[in-house]
Amino acid sequence: MRTVEDRRHRAVEDAVRQGIVGPQQPVAGFLDVDAIRDAARTLREAFRAPRVLHTFAVKAAPLVPVLRLLADEGLGCEVASPGELALARAAGTSPARTVLDSPAKTGAELREALALGIAVNADSREELARLDALVQSAPTSSTLGLRVNPQVGGGSIGALSTATATSKFGIALRDEGARAWLLRACAERPWLTRLHAHVGSQGCPPELMAEGVRAVYELAEEVNAAAGRQQIATLDIGGGLPVNFSSDEVTPTFHDYARLLAGTVHGLFDGRYGLVTEFGRSLLAKSGMVLARVEYTKSAGGRRIAVTHAGAQLAVRTVFAPESWPLRVAAYDAQGRPRTGPAVAQDVAGPCCFAGDLVAVDRPLPPLEAGDHVALLDTGAYYFAHHYAYNSLPRPGVYGYTAAEGETTRFVTVRSPQTLAELVAEGGAAHAADLTALR
Ligand SMILES: *Cc1c(COP(=O)(O)O)cnc(C)c1O
């Protein structure tokens, strides 16, 4: 069995040899299909409770073939917008395996979800009132739940911490009178059968996430005791397991997290509750990379700079918040073979026209030359599928690959590169004369 690194080296060399990345297409995203299947299998094995629905947070990789691959591994979809729902449906994910979360669902979205039988977690008291009206107007097979903000605090990345005291998500559990209100809301609505919490994403320690799950579990126990029956039948424990961006090691693992949950929330896995999970980054990040050509190299003020085709257009967070989102960069030569040699500090710059468009600053790497390649590692989630249209750079192609021992890598297209014609059409070409006509 090849190591992750061996598979990556092989894939880079074959991608360059096959011309998938080259002078014409100087950047692309890649997904290691075997690694994705491994991650999904590990997740299934880690949560060995009787009734578990693992959904994939579509926002982490909104690509139809990826959702189909994950469905093939038994995963459903967690969606948070009409677009994400459309992607999940295009992938063939059934409504029964789809969960709708979002703090801003419109009346039309809610109506559609209930008509389709998609599970909905109400995010606010006002949204619950909308559900009241819908439930009265037509029968639904949707599982309906409430998102609770357990207010257990934030992690190291504020923007991704959803369980702070003042977070915009869910119904704040620890605010004055909130617990009593929630108990009453459930008592008055026998159709509320699920509680949901998602404490946060990258930067949130798993211990904090487990505290949040404990808070919803305890609330569910209280609701059920008051009802004298198992009214809350499922707990949606969210996603958010952090990813190690500093080496090929997967840490924490899904097994680590399941063990932590079992130790923190006694009874969670005893079969009384069905469970729903919503992992995104931890399922995909380590299976993906961006591969880009080095177009030029230069030096300025004593700093070596490699100007590549991978920048803010596909690594927005890394470029704008480098302390929170450092990425590993691997150096390859013009043939796609690992570059070796003594490391020299270099900036790895992108193609965008602003000075901060750097994916690595002062990074020790074997000296890069024009025509070489750089790979941005662990970018399978929230990178190449999250295009930022700066400088009208086209969305790059995305390719999935697999390689048996001793064979060349086989690539399939996950998403075609955006063409200039498509880019111009998105830039309003159909309305070219409309502004000048406004006289
Ligand atoms: C973003 C999000 C997730 C997935 O988070 P990851 O960090 O990608 O695992 C799951 N549930 C909800 C409600 C989210 O907003």
Q: Phi/psi class of residue 120: alpha, beta or left (left: φ > 0; alpha: ψ in -120 to 50)?
A: beta
List the beta bridge partners of residue 56.
Answer: 77, 279
Q: Is the CB of 198 under 6 A from ligand 1?
A: yes
Q: Is 84 near ligand 1, meaning CB less than 6 Å away?
A: no
145 lines ligand 1 (CB under 6 A): no
Question: Which pLDDT does position 159 carry in this prediction?
Answer: 86
Statement: residue 2 has pLDDT above 80:
no
Ranking 162-166, 210-214, 273-277, 364-368 by mean pLDDT, the lowest is 162-166
How far apart are alpha carbons 173 and 181 in whole angstroms? 9
pLDDT at position 86: 98
Ligand 1 binding pocket includes 101 (Cβ within 6 Å): yes
Question: How does residue 1 score in pLDDT terms, banded at 50, 70 and 90?
Answer: low
pLDDT tens column, 139-178? 999 999 999 999 998 998 888 889 899 899 999 999 999 9
How do residues 217-240 score in pLDDT, each as one tens digit?
A: 999 999 999 999 999 999 999 999
pLDDT confidence bin for 404, thresholds 50/70/90 = confident
Residue 201's Cβ-count burial label (10 Å; 0-12, 13-18, 19+) is buried
Name residue 96's amino acid.
Answer: A
Binning pLDDT at 50, 70 and 90, where does residue 343 land?
Answer: very high
Q: For residues 306 and 313, is the Cβ–Cβ distance under 8 A? A: no
Question: Which domains, from first to last, does the chain contain?
Answer: 4-30+286-420 (2.40.37.10), 34-282 (3.20.20.10)
| pLDDT recorded at residue 184 | 98
Band of pLDDT at residue 382, cut at 50, 70 and 90? very high
184 alpha carbon – ligand 1 mean position (Å) = 28
Q: Which of 120, 201, 244, 277 to mutate to test the pocket of ligand 1 (most atoms within 8 A of CB)?
A: 201
- How close is the Cα of 277 to the center of ligand 1, in Å? 9
CA of 18 to the centre of ligand 1 (A): 36
The response to whether residue 282 sits with its C-beta less than 6 Å from ligand 1 reads: yes
By percentage, how much of the chain surpasses pLDDT 70? 100
Q: How many CB atoms lie within 10 A of CB 395?
A: 22
In terms of Cα–Cα distance, which of 164, 179, 170 is closest to 145? 170
The pLDDT value recorded for residue 439 is 85
Q: What is the mean pLDDT of residues 118-128?
A: 98
Just list the catalytic residues: 353
Q: What is the pLDDT of residues 84-93, one digit of tens each?
A: 999 999 999 9
Atom of ligand 1 nearest to the CA of 242: 7
Determine the Cα–Cα distance for residues 60 and 95; give it in Å rounded to an integer.
19
The lowest-confidence range among 3-7, 194-198, 316-320 is: 3-7
Closest CA to 43 of 252, 325, 328: 252
Inform me whether the pLDDT recorded for 405 exceeds 90.
no
Distance from residue 201's CA to the centre of ligand 1 (Å): 6
pLDDT confidence bin for 50, thresholds 50/70/90:
confident
Distance 162 CA to ligand 1 centre (A): 10
User: Which has the closest alpha carbon to 121: 228, 196, 202, 19?
Assistant: 196
* Mean pLDDT (the chain, rounded): 96
**Ligand 1 pocket check for 124: Cβ under 6 Å:** no
Q: How far apart are CA 285 and CA 170, in angstroms?
A: 26
